[in-house]
Chains A and B, each alone.
Chain A
């Protein structure tokens, strides 16, 4: 069965998988509630910490690297943590989805089907993209209503476009992390390491400028860093601050590369599982 000749069928399978995941998500709405609540509530601790770290107006390094007035500081921290919590949700849920199917015994059944493995890797993605959009709206409302931030409608819409563009790439990263479920009995530890690395290198709560050069170089290579940087530039400076063609090219290119690698890794994991008879092992 060639991938080209059966493209409509594969697309149909992908839509069906997305529909299934959407139905499941609607049954357990806590994922949506969490997507709205946590990105709004969690950054408060960092806002308080930043206020304490600023002291009483002594000159400090933050003037060059991080906003110093309270509203801009809140916007900086909230947008950073929005991407951090969204990526965390994507990583955790993608991995949990595959592990869940394995525990329930439905993974082996699904793998009997000739449908593209993209259904397993990206079936949950639309639900998680919706959670990202909800988080973004909740964060904007919190910034405007809670901190008195003035965010122009054009900036807010452009920020939404950044979320829309970055979503598939971040979902592809999460899918890649999810494939480890086929190689390890419990992939939770690896997902946690990925979360720790992203928090360290992607500048969610601090600008890359404060990091050692080597760490900043690594950070600049990572899509979550592009996402959070662009989001901050767009919200602070308006849509014209963003090089849209370059960003689109980068994100779409990365999405395609990571997706292809994830599919290859999934195929290798599936083959290994079939040979050793451990595909459904928990």
Chain B
């Protein structure tokens, strides 16, 4: 039942996307390109020594600065896309007055919200892969074949992102509109996960928060397998740690969502914004 609801909802959201493909491509792929990737690419170029990222190699074990940036941006787009996408999907449902109808399906509330999270993640995945392909085609990004070993890390990270989607939904249900908070949240999630730099350069307190985020390990493992950079911990420990953090984030998200849903149900504010 839930999977059918998810598929139908996904189909509906993709129909909306087909109606405005440039806007979606802009939001998911071009926006990160000029806000994050291009400036950081140019900055990294300023530190090249005879065409090699010697400084980066000392910090990470890899001279592949293009790969370092694009791989981090890949996960960053998934993270920020999950936040902005969930907000956009909920906003669309609210704006068109169909959010309350979606709530009347016989499945549980947590399951009802699954399609919103899946749609947001699917849309951001399109942007993330588009950006990575652009990196390979135009910026000289070369990924090793061992990248396939990082697929579980990405999937575990995505499971954690579902938790983030639930947190976003909880926030939107309570606050109605929370654009500034969401923009800030997406930015800090990327910063604390080491989107364009190794988290080893973060100051102590930020490093502690960073080590509790599954996205930190997802990016680190992806860089390790795709580029040969040094992992933060032994891979044998990093995978279980990422899974624990992901499960924690998912649990936190679901908990916050259930509380927020109860709040809007008792106050009758579901469709208000």
Q: Are A204 and B46 in contact (CB under 8 A)?
A: no
Give every chain A residue within 8 A of B35 (Cβ-Cβ): 199
Q: Mark B184-195, 1 if CB is under 8 A from A, else 0.
A: 100100110001
In the complex, chain A residues 22-61 whose Cβ is within 8 Å of any chain B Cβ? 30, 33-34, 37, 41-42, 44-46, 48-56, 58-61
Q: Mark A201-228, 1 if CB is under 8 A from B, else 0.
A: 0001111001100000000000000000
Instruction: Count how many chain B residues have C-beta atoms less than 8 Å from C-beta atoms of the other chain.
Output: 42
Q: Mark B228-267, 1 if CB is under 8 A from A, else 0.
A: 0000000000000000000000000000000000000000
B213 at the interface (CB under 8 A from A): no
Give every chain A residue within 8 A of B22 (Cβ-Cβ): 186, 189
Give every chain A residue within 8 A of B5 (Cβ-Cβ): none
Listed A/B pairs (27) with beta-carbon separation below 8 Å: A30-B180, A33-B180, A37-B184, A42-B187, A48-B196, A48-B202, A52-B197, A53-B44, A53-B55, A53-B56, A56-B55, A58-B54, A58-B55, A60-B47, A60-B49, A60-B55, A61-B46, A84-B39, A192-B26, A192-B34, A195-B34, A196-B34, A196-B38, A199-B34, A204-B39, A205-B39, A206-B39
Residues of chain B having any CB pair with chain A under 8 Å: 22-23, 26, 30-31, 33-36, 38-40, 42-49, 53-60, 65, 179-180, 184, 187, 190-191, 195-198, 200-202
Known: A49-B43, A206-B42. Contact between A54 and B55, CB under 8 A? yes
Known: A192-B31, A196-B33, A205-B39. Contact between A49 and B196, CB under 8 A? yes
A126 at the interface (CB under 8 A from B): no
Query: How many angstroms between the C-alpha atoms of A45 and B53 in the bound complex?
Result: 18
Known: A55-B54, A61-B49, A66-B47. Contact between A49 and B40, CB under 8 A? yes
Give every chain B residue within 8 A of A65 (Cβ-Cβ): 46
Q: Are B26 and A188 in contact (CB under 8 A)?
A: yes
A101 at the interface (CB under 8 A from B): no
Query: How many angstroms between the C-alpha atoms of A54 and B47 in the bound complex?
Result: 7
In the complex, the chain B residue whose C-beta lies closest to that of A42 is B187
Residues of chain A having any CB pair with chain B under 8 Å: 30, 33-34, 37, 41-42, 44-46, 48-56, 58-62, 65-66, 77, 81, 84, 186, 188-189, 192, 195-196, 199-200, 204-207, 210-211
Main secondary structure of the interface of A (DSSP, over half): helix
Query: How many angstroms between the C-alpha atoms of A196 and B39 in the bound complex?
Result: 9
Q: Are A55 and B201 in contact (CB under 8 A)?
A: no
In the complex, the chain A residue whose C-beta lies closest to that of B69 is A49
Q: Are A206 and B43 in contact (CB under 8 A)?
A: yes
Q: Please give me the 9 A-B residue pairs with the lowest Cβ-Cβ distance, nearest first.
A: A55-B55, A55-B58, A196-B34, A53-B47, A206-B42, A60-B49, A205-B39, A49-B197, A206-B46
**How many Å from the CB of B177 to the closest CB on chain A?**
10
Q: Are B42 and A52 in contact (CB under 8 A)?
A: no
Q: Are A50 and B39 in contact (CB under 8 A)?
A: no
Give every chain B residue within 8 A of A207 (Cβ-Cβ): 46
Q: Are B49 and A49 in contact (CB under 8 A)?
A: no
Q: Are A50 and B180 in contact (CB under 8 A)?
A: no
Give every chain B residue within 8 A of A196 (Cβ-Cβ): 30, 33-34, 38
**How many Å from the CB of B88 to the closest CB on chain A?**
14
Query: How many angstroms between the C-alpha atoms of A195 and B46 in the bound complex?
Result: 21
Give every chain B residue within 8 A of A58 (Cβ-Cβ): 49, 54-55, 58
**How many Å from the CB of A152 to the closest CB on chain B?**
26
Q: Which residue from B23, B31, B39, B65 sits with its C-beta under 8 Å from A53?
A: B65
**How many Å from the CB of B47 to the closest CB on chain A?**
4
In the complex, the chain B residue whose C-beta lies closest to that of A59 is B49
Beyond the given A49-B196, A52-B59, A55-B59, could you list 17 further A-B residue pairs with CB under 8 A, ordered by the A residue number?
A37-B184, A41-B187, A42-B187, A49-B40, A50-B47, A52-B197, A52-B201, A53-B44, A53-B46, A53-B47, A53-B56, A60-B47, A66-B47, A192-B34, A196-B38, A199-B39, A210-B42
